[in-house]
């Protein structure tokens, strides 16, 4: 069996930082997650038009800033002029888009673990993103505190070319777990499987766990609705509001 980094996953991971309480994917959201007691955060990374890796989910800045541009059309000075906090709440006005390097420094300073999702939006290069983002993350965080995940098989393959399984934990992101999930994981020597909890079946979940892979489920915000899936052996819940789960996830032996 391949050796992977000795990653100890928590039961709860803050999705895009503590995105129920602070603007998603910002430094403020990561600080809020840390204050709330989270030990791991999930964040999305992609490239600006000038090649700078930034922490951002959408292909445009419309939903989460006071601007409208596509990320691919922005350079760093223009991206920095955007207010990325005011849309969420007045107290976050003045928040600026985080570069990956600023975010990595904060994650490291707070002692957090990071699930970095390589977000390959339509028309963008997977290889360029991986070459910028993955070495940067490996430079700052120890392998025990990093999982790089993606829906893009191409991005995962590029990441695997950069570092072996013992140094870089990869997570394969699925919506529903496909029939060939195991071949896809074995081909890339992935560490973990990440799936949409609303598409999870008991059979799929148990197959992943019995094969020895951690199973991370996104994005669960209702503990009562999620209880069923938790009972199937899910390793970690990725939630916008992890505090809502306090006391709702029974311990496992
Ligand atoms: O990494 C889990 C989850 O974040 C994947 O979906 O769209 O929220 O990035 P999305
Ligand atoms: Mg994500």
Tell which CATH classification among 3.30.70.20, 3.50.50.60, 2.120.10.80, 3.20.20.190 matches the domain 12-245.
Answer: 3.20.20.190
Alpha-carbon gap, residue 140 to 134, rounded angstroms:
10
Alpha-carbon gap, residue 182 to 162, rounded angstroms:
22
Q: Does residue 194 line the site of ligand 1, with CB under 6 A?
A: yes
Query: Any idea which residue has 């070495």 for tokens?
Result: 135
ipTM of the shown complex: 0.99
Q: Does residue 131 line the site of ligand 1, with CB under 6 A?
A: no
pLDDT, position 250: 84
All structural domains of the chain with their residue ranges:
12-245
Stated pTM of the model: 0.98
pLDDT digits (tens, 9 = 90+) for 124-180: 999 999 999 999 999 999 999 999 999 999 999 999 999 999 999 999 999 999 999
pLDDT digits (tens, 9 = 90+) for 73-105: 999 999 999 999 999 999 999 999 999 999 999
Q: Does residue 235 line the site of ligand 1, with CB under 6 A?
A: no
Say if CB 10 and CB 85 are below 8 A apart.
no
- DSSP H stretches of helix in the chain: 27-35, 76-81, 100-109, 126-140, 153-162, 181-188, 202-210, 223-230
CA angle, 187 then 117 then 250, to 5°:
90
**Can you tell me which atom of ligand 1 is nearest the CA of 57?**
9
Question: What rounded mean pLDDT belongs to the chain?
Answer: 97
**Can you tell me which atom of ligand 1 is nearest the CA of 149?**
1
């Amino acid at each position: 069996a391949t050796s992977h980094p000795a990653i100890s996953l928590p039961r709860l991971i803050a999705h895009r930082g503590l995105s129920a309480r602070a603007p998603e994917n910002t430094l403020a959201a990561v600080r809020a997650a840390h204050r709330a007691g989270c030990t791991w955060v999930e964040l999305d990374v992609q490239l600006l038009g000038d090649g700078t890796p930034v922490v951002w989910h959408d292909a445009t800045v419309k939903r989460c800033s006071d601007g409208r541009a596509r990320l691919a059309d922005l350079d760093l000075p223009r991206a920095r002029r955007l207010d990325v906090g005011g849309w969420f709440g007045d107290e976050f006005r003045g928040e600026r888009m985080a570069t990956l390097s600023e975010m990595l420094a904060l994650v490291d300073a707070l002692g957090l673990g990071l699930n970095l999702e390589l977000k390959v939006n339509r028309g963008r290069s997977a290889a360029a993103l991986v070459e910028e983002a993955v070495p940067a993350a490996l430079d700052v965080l120890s392998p025990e505190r990093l999982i790089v995940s993606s829906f893009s098989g191409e991005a995962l393959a590029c990441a695997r070319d950069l570092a072996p399984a013992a140094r870089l934990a990869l997570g394969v992101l699925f919506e529903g777990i496909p029939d060939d999930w195991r071949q896809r994981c074995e081909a890339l020597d992935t560490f973990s499987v990440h799936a949409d909890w609303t598409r999870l079946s008991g059979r799929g979940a148990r197959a992943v766990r019995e094969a020895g892979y951690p199973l991370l489920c996104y994005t669960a915000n209702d503990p009562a609705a999620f209880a069923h899936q938790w009972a199937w052996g899910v390793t970690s819940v990725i939630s916008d509001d992890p505090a809502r789960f306090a006391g709702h996830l029974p311990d496992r032996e």
